[in-house]
Amino acid sequence: MTTWVGAPVPRKEDARLTTGRGRYLDDIARSGLLHAAMLRSPHAHARIVSIDVSEAERLPGVLGVLSGAEAAAASQPIRPLIPTPTPLRDWCLAVDRVRFAGEPVAAVAAVDRATAEDAVERIQVAYEPLAPVVDPEAAIEPGAPLLYPELGTNVLWHDVLSYGDVDGAFTRADGVLRERFEIQRYASTPLETFGCIAEHDAGTDTYTFWTNDQRPGFTLAILAESLGVPQSRLRLVCPDIGGAFGNKRRPAYLLTCALLARKTGRPVKYLEDRIENLTALMHACNGVMDVELAYRNDGTVLAFRIRDIADEGKNLVSPTQHNLIKLGNIANGYRIGAIRYEPYSVLTTKCPSGANRGIGKPFMCFAIERTMALLARRLGLDPAELRLRNYVQPAEMPYTTPTGSQYDSGDYPATLRRALERFDYRGRRAEQARARKEGRLLGIGLATSVEPAGTNLASYELITGRRAASGSAEAAMVRIEPDGQVRAALGNPATGQGYETVVAQIVADELGLAPDEVHVARGFDSLGTPSLYLSGSYSNKFSVTDVGAVVGAARKVRDKALRIAAHRLEAAPADLELIDGEARVRGVPGRGLTLREIARTAYADVLGLPPGEDPGLESRHFHSNPLAAPVDERRRVRSQLVFSNAAHCCLVEVERRTGQVRILAYLVVHDCGRELNPGIVEGMVHGSTVHGIGAALLEEFRYDEGGNLLTSTFMDYLKPTALDVPDIDVDHLETPSPFTPLGAKGVGEGGSIPGPAAVANAVEDALAAFVIRSLPITPERVWSWLNLAGETGARRTR
């Protein structure tokens, strides 16, 4: 029997997407559709004294205007994913106060977007500016301006989590390396911006949303609660989604459109423009980390002490996640005896921080892998050798880290060795030495990482002390239609990962078909797609939960089909096999029943069913990954469940006079377990790695002291172009996970995690005399480091 899983099957999606026949949010037409625009705060922090929308309402073409006060009267506050200690009330529009520049204050629905924008200009708002708080360390200080005075602090979470004998390890250590690292705000900026259409059917009092929201389960719950409408009256549809990377969720926009739709009686669309997207959707959390590493002189790493300040901006939906999620890779691939982690989750008057490819883990990996590079330098060890001395060994798998993460599988030393060989690490070191003699600055950077997948929401119990949502799960459906054709759907709307193809591969294998014979629904439709609160595209979870849901659904429907066929063929189900769309009696050529015939029995000739068998040939499966467990008594938790790993090698050249950095070569060796579709996997590796490179060299949301974003267009917020990135070389190992149905592990976040560290390590290696503590590595900063290095060098010789 052919197995489709594991083959680089061309994607089913691509025939439509390469020809312009995709159907994205902005392609959806509804009759009578109105277009919304938003008035956004020009202040980082201000009290709203008054709003006058009358002039906007009078503009021809305007059908409805919504102010914050009106929204607050017509809806309930938005429930956070993670509750704050004191309940904070936050509506879809700012009510009395704005807390970041770009926060929506009012919204207009008009016949077209241009008219809506004309109207927005006519809304008069009187603001009383308040002091902004931009720097997260300043936000912690007593006396800092408070975003929520009722909270009495800007700190949403502060804790000290101690695992193992940390102080003992530091006492016993030969030395301690202390360093401080910072990470900037950046984002994956999907090419399609975020938006929605909301339609209210007054006759049935039901709402339909079309949206490129990547987490429909959670969003539906919020919409129902905030609109005060039973969830049974809500429908949410995701069309093709033009990338998401964690960024695409903002239930507030859906709510705003729903309120405008209710008010005007017409469907209302809102789609961010790019400035709104960059200013107000979501930034990867910036932060400051103080790392202390206790080591022995032979390079053994004994313990870490880490203080981590996460700048949430005005994030009330999912604050603290940027700290918490770091527990998943705080030990990276190393055997570390003891860890102390002191998280601060801090509000500031900036764009909400939020999920962005890798979420928090790129910074964690940056800090650890930078520290390892510095330790190698300090001890005069090769950075590769230092890592090899500290890796968790394959024989130790599954291995539990001090914080409770369970590394399921993988061979970290072999991954690095493969990388060193393929990168010609020794040869390149020699090349580097030669180049240096000619005055050229070449640098080689290594970074290795674990890549966690699947989030166990129970870990939030560490913060709130009680369990709300928990576990990691997804839902899928497989149906053999009355004509024998197969259809599948998944609670996770794809955002570019090619799930239609991969789901078809999985179902094809289970049902003995070819992927072309399995139709997989595009996107998501809450009416037809089974789903959970936990459903959605997030946390690298496809391989951890979604595959299980698909396999489960396919097997259920297969078993039923075989039972029906067995009954009709008067054979035992165990003697049947499904091949080429037919249930055949093993070893008896010619005795079989096609899926079409089986389906006919299931749907039409129901008296032909086995006794006790229900009609129909459809199954739904809700899969919960069994690894998810509650927080234990030592406050350990499996915040994430399954771990891929990778080694990145980067060769850069630094132009001495200008500080410009060029990546000459880049290699990734990774292991994501069984590769369901190697073509797709390779694309994920390339793409995620470029996100890492972008963060390392180009991308930065920069704020001035007043809390104004200075890089709010693609002219100033710099994404890597085809000329900024190298041909990334990719190789892989394949260590299947014992804990996922097909042995697959996460691959979506991939290179975004070690990428920034690999590039920084390479540039630092080229400069040789400077410590890189923050990103991005701009030419100007390199130049200034070269100057500093030059000065200290000169001083040393003097």
DSSP character string of 505-540: HHHHHHHT--GGGEEE-SSEETTTS---TT-SS-TT
Q: What is the CB neighbour count within 10 angstroms for residue 776?
A: 20
Q: Does 788 bind ligand FES (CB under 6 A)?
A: no
How far is residue 578 CA from its own chain's centroid?
Answer: 37
Residue 171 or 658 having the CB closest to another protein: 658
Binding mask 569-598 for ligand FES (x = CB under 6 A): ------------------------------
Instruction: State the binding string over 451-490 for ligand FES (x if CB under 6 A, else -).
Output: ----------------------------------------
H-helix segments, 380-411: 383-390
From the list 135, 510, 682, 749, which residue makes contact with another protein (rule: CB under 8 A)?
A: 682
How many whole angstroms separate alpha carbon 527 and alpha carbon 551? 21
Indicate which single residue of 5, 13, 125, 163 sits in contact with another protein (rule: CB under 8 A).
13
Question: Between residue 683 and residue 702, which ones bind another protein under the rule CB under 8 A?
Answer: 683-684, 686-690, 698, 702
**Binding flag, residue 243, ligand FES (CB under 6 A):** yes
Q: Which is nearer to another protein, 13 or 90 (CB)?
A: 13
- CA gap 216, 528 in Å, rounded: 13
Which of another protein, ligand FES, none does 275 bind, CB closer than 5 to 8 A by kind?
another protein
- The CA-CA-CA angle for residues 17, 19, 23, to 5°, reads 50
Count of alpha carbons within 13 angstroms of residue 454, beta-carbon side = 34
Query: How, if at all, do strands 155-158 and 62-67 pair?
Result: unpaired
∠ CA 330-533-11, rounded to 5°: 80
- Binds 711: which of ligand FES, another protein, none (CB < 5-8 Å by kind): another protein
Which one, 496 or 581, has the nearer CB to ligand FES?
496
The footprint of ligand FES on residues 144-203 (CB under 6 A) is: 191
Distance CA 80, CA 90 (A): 9
Which of these segments, 113-121, 175-183, 252-260, 383-391, binds another protein (CB under 8 A)?
113-121
| Contacts of another protein in 266-325 (CB under 8 A) | 273-275
**Residue 22 interacting with another protein (CB under 8 A):** yes
Looking up tokens 């006058």, which residue turns up?
52
Q: Which of 427, 439, 612, 657 binds another protein (CB under 8 A)?
A: 657
Identify which range of 299-307, 361-369, 713-721, 761-769 contacts another protein by CB under 8 A.
713-721
- Least Cα distance to 488 among 9, 7, 12, 8 occurs for 12
| Member of 298, 632, 716, 791 binding another protein (CB under 8 A) | 716
| Least distance CB 711 / another protein (angstroms) | 6
Residue 678, exposed/middle/buried by CB under 10 A (0-12, 13-18, 19+)?
middle
User: Which of 2, 124, 393, 658 is the binder for another protein (CB under 8 A)?
Assistant: 658
Instruction: Write the CA distances from 204 to 28, 266, 272, 527, 726, integer angstroms.
Output: 22, 15, 29, 15, 55
Q: Retrieve residue 603's tokens.
A: 């749907």
Residues within window 575-614 making contact with another protein, judged by CB under 8 A? none
Measured between its terminal Cα atoms, the distance across the chain in Å is: 75
Is residue 683 within the footprint of ligand FES (CB under 6 A)? no
Q: Is 383 in the site for another protein (CB under 8 A)?
A: no
Task: Report which secondary-structure segment, H or E, holds 238.
Answer: strand 234-238
Tell me how far apart the alpha carbons of residues 364 and 583 are, in angstroms, rounded to a whole number: 52
Report how far Cα 370 is from the mean position of its chain's Cα atoms. 23
Amino acid 777 reads I
CB of 190 to ligand FES, least distance (A): 7
For the bound state, the minimum distance from the C-beta of residue 195 to ligand FES, rounded and expressed in Å, comes to: 15
Q: Which of residues 211-240 bind another protein (CB under 8 A)?
A: 240
Residue 773 partner contact from another protein, ligand FES, none using kind-dependent CB cut-offs of 5 to 8 Å: none
150 binds, among ligand FES, another protein, none (CB under 5 to 8 A by kind): none
Q: Does 138 bind another protein (CB under 8 A)?
A: no
DSSP state of 261: H
Distance CA 287, CA 273 (A): 27
650 binds another protein (CB under 8 A): no
Q: Using only C-alpha atoms, what is the Rg of the chain?
A: 27
277: which 2 tokens? 């997207």
β-strand partners of 311: 286, 346
Report the amino acid identity of residue 115. Answer: T
- By CB under 8 A, how many residues form the interface with another protein? 77
Q: Does 118 bind another protein (CB under 8 A)?
A: yes
* Smaller CB separation from ligand FES, 360 or 496: 496
Residue 268 pairs in a beta bridge with 34, 198
Q: Which stretch binds another protein (CB under 8 A): 334-342, 504-512, 682-690, 737-745?
A: 682-690
Other Cβ atoms less than 10 A from the Cβ of 85: the count is: 14
Task: Give me the 736-775 binding string for another protein, x by CB under 8 A, dash otherwise.
Answer: ----------------------------------------
* Min dist. Cβ of residue 652 to ligand FES (A): 25
Among the listed residues 2, 58, 96, 114, the single contact to another protein using CB under 8 A: 114
Which of ligand FES, another protein, none lies near 509, with the C-beta cut-off 5 to 8 A by kind?
none
Question: x/- contact string, 494-513, with ligand FES (CB under 6 A)?
Answer: --x-----------------
Which residue from 41, 75, 184, 188 is in contact with another protein, where contact means CB under 8 A? Answer: 188
Give the whole-angstrom CA distance, residue 377 versus residue 370. 11
Does residue 14 belong to the site contacting another protein (CB under 8 A)? yes
DSSP 266-308: S-EEEE--HHHIIIII-BPPEEEEEEEEEE-TTS-EEEEEEEE
Q: What is the contact surface with ligand FES in residues (CB under 6 A)?
A: 191, 243, 496
